[in-house]
Structure 1
Amino acid sequence: MVIMEPSTFPEPDVRLARLADAVGLPPAWPPADQFLDDLAQRTGLHTHDLLLVADLPLPETAWLFDETAGASSSLVSHSLALTASGRQQLRTRARSMTAPVGALTPWKPRPHEEYPPSFGSLLLRMLALRNLNWSGAAKVMCLMSGVCKAASTIGAVGRGAKQLDAEMLDGFAATLGIRVAVLAHLTGIRPSGEHREPAPEVVDTASLIWDIRHLTWDQEGELTAYAEVLGRK
């Protein structure tokens, strides 16, 4: 697999083709639903992430959140420490929960979250899909990857004030629960080391973060308490 050098932010069809090439899938444009499903399965990204990559519209429900929620450090820490069985039980509980009617509101980016087109802004929008703001992303990234940056640094990547580099690529890949090689091929940034698969607890926790994106602050607290119980078993 050839890793390209960073360049200007390419057009959507090129970005999607890079992802397809990273996992040995023939590119397709415009992308059919089956192609997006296959690409999601192979890359570990979600179809909504791929719609962002392709500059295609997402369902309005994708941006409904309780912005006081989002994956907390406590929940992520407990999830990472659980056994595989415990993580499965935690995710099962999370997927069984739904927010009360009217509890979620449409997410509207604030002025500081209006980014110029770039790979950094694309990755921050993926995290926003998971109800992670700069602060939440910084905390989760540190716990899941060991890449510990200030919230302002995360924001600077989105604004283009800080270059997306190999270290940050490691952090974003872990937070998304995918191989860094996938992001390296997409962005053209050379990865920092071996193209290792993310650890099972990282993949499961990244999936949990996705599962809880539409829950409320109270529901997340309930889930954290359940994770604590699981950790004592």
Structure 2
Amino acid sequence: MADHPGHPGFGVLLTRLLNYRQTDIAWLATASDIPESELYSVADGAPPSVSHLEDLAAALGFHTADLFVIAGLPVPEPLQPCEPLAGSGLARVLHITMVLPEDQRIHIRATVEQLPHLPHVRPADPPRTPYLRYYLQDGGFGAMLVAMLCANRNLSLPAAARTSALLTQGRMYLSASTYHSIATGSAPLRPAWLAGFATTLGIPIGDLAAITGTVLSEPTPPDNPLAAEAAELLWDCQRLTASQIEHVRAEAEAMLVAVPHDASNDDWHRVLHHHGTWWGTPRP
């Protein structure tokens, strides 16, 4: 990305990540099949090419679109969500899926995987997604994280707020306006918020802390396999259209059962209320 006051450049961010992982350019060259000389050039400040980022993402375990954002480059259209802001219903899909038994969660993942890849939908009046622009303009890491969460995972700010609150079990309970403030830099990024982004993005907190130069002053939350699974489902759904997401939501809702009227909250997950009846799942 272009130089900005206070932003060290992609080469520095890559070096931070390698240092945190206690590895080096030599390992990365072998893992990515990129010549060491080219990687040293990137580490020294040369802009990475598209092919560099594609190969680096595979070697480092990042989604390619996320690495483009970290590098401060526009995400290529084939890597963008299929239909802009079609993900307004994703929070409901995740809310339902996370309370389903394992076999039914597997079924939902399989349903998503089996849906066909459709051509990208380009609305005549596309929604504004300024978060990457904020990152390009001032190099703020808050904008980087919000861009990955919203632009790459197809969430509006309200949907991002609901999704993060859900996956973090309320630890990241922020308003949509707060996410906007994080993106614009008017709300400085806090270590506790970084942990919430890590959970929702499905990126290890240590990696994000290294990239952003954040010192984690508090113990990180324990790994939550269910949240990690939901983060993967969230990513998988970014290639779906609005109608396909609606199909997945209906499939998940069909797996809910009527909650007995005298049931205890300790024994049941209540998910949605319809015509006087709660629908949900028994707690394990």
| TM-score, normalisation: structure 1 | 0.82
1:198-233 per-residue CA deviation (whole Å, 9 max, x = no partner) reads 311111111111111121222111101222334559
1:18 aligns with 2:20: no
Among all aligned residue pairs of Structure 1 and Structure 2, give the percentage whose two residues are the same amino acid. Answer: 30
Aligned to 1:66: 83
Letter in structure 2 aligned against 1:180: I
- In 2 relative to 1, CA 167–222 (structure 1 residues): closer, same or farther, beyond 3 Å? same
* Deviation for aligned residue 1:55: 3.2
SS, match of residue 18 in structure 2: helix
For 1:52, the equivalent position in structure 2 comes to 69
Asked if 1:85 is matched to 2:103, the reply is yes
- 1:212 counterpart residue number: 237
Please report how far the alpha carbon of residue 187 of structure 1 lies from its aligned counterpart in structure 2 after TM superposition.
1.2
Give the 3-state SS of the residue equivalent to 1:81 in structure 2: coil
Residue 98 of structure 1 pairs with residue 121 of structure 2: no
Is the contact made by 2:85 and 2:155 (CA closer than 8 Å) also made in structure 1? no
Q: Does 1:175 align with 2:192?
A: no
Match of 2:183 in 1: 158
Question: Structure 1's 26 and 99: CA in aligned 2 closer, same or farther, altered over 3 A?
Answer: same
Deviation (angstroms), 1:165: 0.3
Higher relative contact order (CA 8 A, sep 6+): 1
Q: Which amino acid aligns with 1:22?
A: Y
Greater radius of gyration (CA):
2
Which sections of structure 1, spanning at least 5 residues, go unmatched? 1-6
Tell me the CA shift for residue 110 of structure 1: 2.6
Equivalent in the alignment of 2:264: none
Residue 117 of structure 1 is matched in structure 2 by 139
Paired amino acid for 1:123: L
Higher deviation after alignment, 220-229 or 139-148: 220-229
CA, structure 1 residues 196+87, in 2 after alignment: closer, same or farther (shift >3 Å)? Answer: same
In 2, distance between residues paired with 1:162 and 1:106?
A: 33
Q: What is the one-letter code of the residue matched to 1:78? A: I
Greater Cα shift, 180-189 or 18-27: 18-27
TM-superposed deviation, 1:180: 1.6
1:73 Cα shift?
Answer: 2.2
Whether the 8 Å contact between 2:195 and 2:220 is mirrored in structure 1 is no
CA distance in 2, matches of 1:19, 1:89: 35
Contact map agreement 2:85 2:156 (CA 8 A) in 1: no
Q: 8 Å contact 2:91–2:162 — kept in the other structure? A: yes
Amino acid at match of 1:66: E
1:118–1:69: structure 2 CA closer, same or farther, 3 Å change rule?
A: same
Number of aligned pairs?
Answer: 223
Structure 2 SS opposite 1:213? helix
CA contact (8 A) 2:161 2:175 kept: yes
Q: Which amino acid aligns with 2:229?
A: D
Amino acid of the residue matched to residue 158 of structure 1? A
Q: Give the CA RMSD over aligned residues.
A: 2.7
Change (3 A) 1:15 1:231: farther
Q: Which stretch has the larger CA shift, 197-206 or 166-175?
A: 197-206
Q: 1:9 aligns with which of 7, 10, 22?
A: 7
The 1:15/1:99 distance shift into structure 2, 3 A limit, reads same
Q: Distance in 2 between matches of 1:100 and 1:12?
A: 33
